[in-house]
Structure 1
Amino acid sequence: MLSRPYSYLFSLSYYGARFKGWAKQKGQPTVEGKLERVLGYVLGHDDFRIIGSSRTDSGVNCRRGFVQIFLREKVDLGALLPSLNQNLSGEIHLGSVQEVARDFNLIQFVERKTYRYFFASAENFHPFASAYITQVDGFQALESMQESASAFVGKHDFRAFCKVTPNKTDFVREVLEAKVYLSDDFVEGFFPEKVYCFEVTGTGFLYHQVRKMVSAVWAFSPQEIQDRLASPEGDWAQVPTAPAHGLVLWETVLRSL
């Protein structure tokens, strides 16, 4: 018999600058850690387990993701949403909740993810804008960045565009769409007149993959990107990792429940 037979799915968003990433770390503020503390406080116990749809890096924002909770008893979590969000203090917001089958596996049900990375010229850049937008000293013209971004589309070995870790052996990922455009997500106030967005959609991403793709779009030609994708184990100079604060997990799409 399952020890926690009830399962619920929350949609969520969070401001990543407040946290050292998703995963719990001893002595560090993390999204997973705060969710567990608040859930434990509101439920009155810690007899539950949670898993997230994405393990974002330190400083990365999330507009739409998901978290699944497993419980021993049936609970009306919809009625508890206001209390949960009040105690999450606005840094994390749970948008909705629904009961799902106990054998529903959130990670396996993620169909695709879309990330957006926002950046602007360093000229007349106001510090307040740095909460969401990266200040860049120099990057290619928009048309050139669009051409470079399109070189990533398809199924490739992204070993040359990620942070390689000892336990990782599969570097093949599929990029469904990649583009660069002028964004209208930030207007007026302290934001620059021209804010650029690198948007990429894929079935899954490696550690630092999106941020390294951003750096490549800023500086690499389509041919340079294609060469690294074609020979991922070549003796390439390491691609810089773009700063985290410009990155937003914009959309997470699940397969039909």
Structure 2
Amino acid sequence: MRNVCMIVSFDGTAYYGFQTQPGGNTIQDHIEEGLHDLTGEKLKVLGSGRTDAGVHARRQIFNFHTESLIPIERWCMALNGRLPDDIVVTHAFEVPLGFHARHSAKQKTYRYCINANQFPDLFQRHTQLHHPGKLHVLSMREALTSLVGTHDFTSFASRHSTKVNHVRTIYHAEIQLDTSMCRPGEPRDQGLITLYITGNGFLQHMVRIIVGTLLQVGEGKKKPSELQTILEAKDRAKAGPTAESKGLMLWDVLYDFTEEFPSPKEHSL
């Protein structure tokens, strides 16, 4: 028995998220179909976490157990030939049998992109939220500092969350502003506002609710200091709306490869 781990990137626009669900048409469905066609085995893919419909991934991690003897250097090309064009496996490596893509993960980083120019970017419209109204970025940055640390994030979790414990730790959060795509001399263009947030785990819709709340701060509808009050309230109604899924991307997943899980020998696309 082998435990094969892979890194996959995908444009989630056309899919109902990563994890298999009754309606089908998920990233996991397509990967498992491709693996079945490749190996003849009915394999179960274990992802590092689920993503909502329309959410993208730069580095989603998954693993599966297989009896296949396919050399590790052939997995990426062989599987990609059986996947849609908007799903691409970029790395494959063998890991110890005890490795689990979700349980073994130590940190996850998400990115959320807001296009604050007057007009949307035609070529990035599926991965950016277009917000042409003026945003006060410094206030958004100030508000974000309240979320760093270990907190109960009930106010920033979906009302449909099934998690008993809503305590999570945010290790790092920052907002970057890129004005390189602004039209010269056009005051209505503000640039690309990008949130990067790293934590030990995230609740359903958590990042999108954080973004929706930060947008209210940027619009002047909430003060930066209110983020602390919203956290302490543990009440979803106190936070802002859930931002659109298309601006969200699973950016990276970090593992602590120790003696229990030694560093894998990977093969890239």
Residues 46-83 of structure 1: per-residue CA shift (max 9 Å, x gap): 2x221001201111110012110111344324223212
Q: How does 1:6-45 map to 2 (within 5 A)?
A: 6-45=2-41
Task: In structure 1, give the amino acid aligned to 2:254.
Answer: V
Gaps of 5+ in 1: none
Once residues 6 and 169 of structure 1 are traced to their aligned partners in structure 2, the CA distance between those partners, rounded to angstroms, is: 34
Q: Would you say the 8 A contact 1:117–1:199 is kept in 2? A: yes
Once residues 98 and 26 of structure 1 are traced to their aligned partners in structure 2, the CA distance between those partners, rounded to angstroms, is: 30
SS in 2 for 1:89: coil
Task: Report the more deviating stretch, 192-201 or 91-100.
Answer: 192-201
Q: How does 1:86-125 map to 2 (within 5 A)?
A: 86-121=81-116, 123-125=118-120
Aligned to 2:224: 222
142, 147, 150: which is aligned to 2:142? Answer: 147
After TM superposition, give the deviation of residue 237 of structure 1 in Å: 3.8
Q: Would you say the 8 A contact 2:4–2:93 is kept in 1? A: yes
Q: Would you say the 8 A contact 1:17–1:61 is kept in 2? A: yes
Aligned to 1:172: 167
Q: Would you say the 8 A contact 1:9–1:98 is kept in 2? A: yes
Gaps of 5+ in 2: 183-188, 218-222, 262-269
Task: In structure 1, give the amino acid aligned to 2:230.
Answer: R
Residues 21-57 of structure 1: per-residue CA shift (max 9 Å, x gap): 01112343100000001111111332x2210012011
Alignment pair present for 1:66 and 2:70: no
Q: Would you say the 8 A contact 2:111–2:251 is kept in 1? A: yes
Give me the identity figure in percent.
27
4+ long deviations beyond 4 Å: none
Aligned to 1:199: 196
Q: Would you say the 8 A contact 2:47–2:63 is kept in 1? A: yes
Aligned to 1:243: 244
Once residues 38 and 20 of structure 1 are traced to their aligned partners in structure 2, the CA distance between those partners, rounded to angstroms, is: 18
Aligned to 2:207: 210
Q: Would you say the 8 A contact 2:209–2:239 is kept in 1? A: no
Task: Report the more deviating stretch, 56-65 or 140-149.
Answer: 140-149
| Distance change in 2, residues 1:77/1:41 (3 Å) | farther
After TM superposition, the score normalised by the length of structure 2 is 0.84
| Distance change in 2, residues 1:37/1:151 (3 Å) | same
The number of residue pairs the alignment matches comes to 248
Task: In structure 1, give the amino acid aligned to 2:33.
Answer: R
Residues 135-162 of structure 1: per-residue CA shift (max 9 Å, x gap): 1253531111110111110101000011
Task: Report the more deviating stretch, 201-210 or 222-231.
Answer: 222-231
Q: Would you say the 8 A contact 1:17–1:60 is kept in 2? A: yes
Q: Would you say the 8 A contact 2:213–2:239 is kept in 1? A: no
Task: In structure 2, give the amino acid aligned to 1:115.
Answer: Y
Aligned to 2:264: none
| Distance change in 2, residues 1:140/1:193 (3 Å) | closer
After TM superposition, give the deviation of residue 202 of structure 1 in Å: 0.6
Residues 68-103 of structure 1: per-residue CA shift (max 9 Å, x gap): 011134432422321211221321111111111111
147, 152, 156: which is aligned to 1:157? Answer: 152
After TM superposition, the score normalised by the length of structure 1 is 0.88
